[in-house]
Chains A and B, each alone.
Chain A
Amino acid sequence: MIVAERKPFEEIKDMLKGYKKVLNVGCGTCVAVCLTGGEKEVDVLNAELDMARKLDEDPIELGAVTVERQCDREYLETLDDKVGDYEALLSMACGAGIQFLAERYPDMPVLPAVDTTFIGVNQDVGWYEERCRSCSACVLAWTGGICPVTMCAKGLYNGPCGGTDQGKCEISQEQPCAWFEIYGRLAGQDRLDLIKRFYAIVPWKNQKPRTLIQPGYKKPEQAE
């Protein structure tokens, strides 16, 4: 899932300075699962903002709505008859959702209440860890299912580097060396020959926004 972290309260409060009526839009998918921008988090943030603005003798009217996904038009459509009643929208979705919301209502200020942080896994309630950088060139088949781009501090495709230290990374004793882990996993599977292969680095340079159209899903007017 996409993991996001709520922005510091002061930053959000500062963004809303001058607005008197704002709709806070949550997202019911990834950011709801990671307890950052779902229905409950929208209510908590609204309660905080309401209290803070009243204490400043500058009350604000806050609406709350959480759509299933802010990255899907069909769900955003449900907001069409609501947004006109507000001066600005506050979005608690990931960066994709926030941009899609802003794209749908181009005349309306759309403000982010969260920082999108990573694609990760759920280790426990409220505890998430990064696992993927969406590099578009997955090598997990050859690295024992451990991503060197994400889990190695240097993102090395052909590691380890000289900083590996008894299975830990030089950046921290808390951080396992990805390539030590990859070696262990492949050794356990008797596939160590794979570690000797050479892999070209990720072509991060000159990246442009990526688009994916699944086979068989081209619009009829675009089909060749």
Chain B
Amino acid sequence: MHLLRAIQKGADGVYAVGCLEGNCHYNEGNLRARERVEHVRILLEEVGLEGDRVRMYNLSSGEGPTFAAYAREMTEHIKSLGPNPLKKWAKG
């Protein structure tokens, strides 16, 4: 819902970050999260937006540089998709 709400309110893209697969404190929590993110991508496609505006990455808490690299990758990716067409409807 949070991912969907962000796009609904005009965000150009959103990414969720989970722990490395197999290292989740909640055992399969990050695998289930990936399923949910995949579902949100399908919902966005149904609505008429690019599902790839939402992505999921996995890394450990000690991988600061990787986190930054993913952030840059996502930023570049979003730029290539262009602005969210819903932005004009966002309030304020």
Query: Quick one: closest B residue to A46, CB to CB?
Result: B8
Instruction: Identify which of A40, A54, A125 contacts B86 (C-beta below 8 A).
Output: A54
* Interface membership of B47, Cβ < 8 A: yes
Convert B47-88 into 0s and 1s, putting 1 for each residue whose CB lies closer than 8 angstroms to a CB of A.
111000000000000000000000000000000000001100
Chain B residues positioned under 8 Å from A48 (CB to CB): 4, 43, 46-47
- In addition to A55-B49, A55-B86, 18 A-B residue pairs with Cβ atoms within 8 Å of each other are A9-B43, A9-B46, A10-B46, A44-B1, A44-B43, A47-B5, A48-B4, A48-B47, A51-B7, A51-B8, A51-B48, A52-B46, A52-B48, A54-B86, A54-B89, A55-B47, A55-B85, A125-B32
Count A-B pairs with CB separation below 8 Å: 38
- Determine if A51 and B86 form an interchain contact, defined as CB atoms under 8 angstroms apart: yes
B1, B32, B49: the one contacting A51 at CB < 8 Å is B49
A74 to B57 CA separation, bound complex (whole angstroms): 47
Number of chain B residues whose Cβ lies closer than 8 Å to a Cβ of chain A: 15
Please report whether the interface of chain B is mostly helix, strand, loop or mixed according to DSSP: helix
Interfacial residues, chain B to chain A (CB-CB below 8 A)? 1, 4-5, 7-8, 32, 43-44, 46-49, 85-86, 89
Q: Is chain A's binding surface mostly helix, strand, loop or mixed?
A: helix
5 inter-chain pairs at a CB distance below 8 angstroms, sorted by A residue, are A9-B47, A48-B46, A51-B44, A51-B86, A52-B48
How far is B86's CA from A59's CA once the two chains are assembled, in angstroms?
A: 11
Give the one of A50, A54, A125 with max B CB within 10 A: A54
Contacts of A40 in B (CB 8 A): 1
A43 within 8 Å of B by Cβ? yes
Q: Which 8 interchain pairs have the tightest Cβ spacing?
A: A9-B46, A52-B47, A51-B47, A55-B48, A47-B4, A54-B89, A47-B8, A48-B47
Q: How far is the CA of A43 from the CA of B7 in the complex (A)?
A: 14
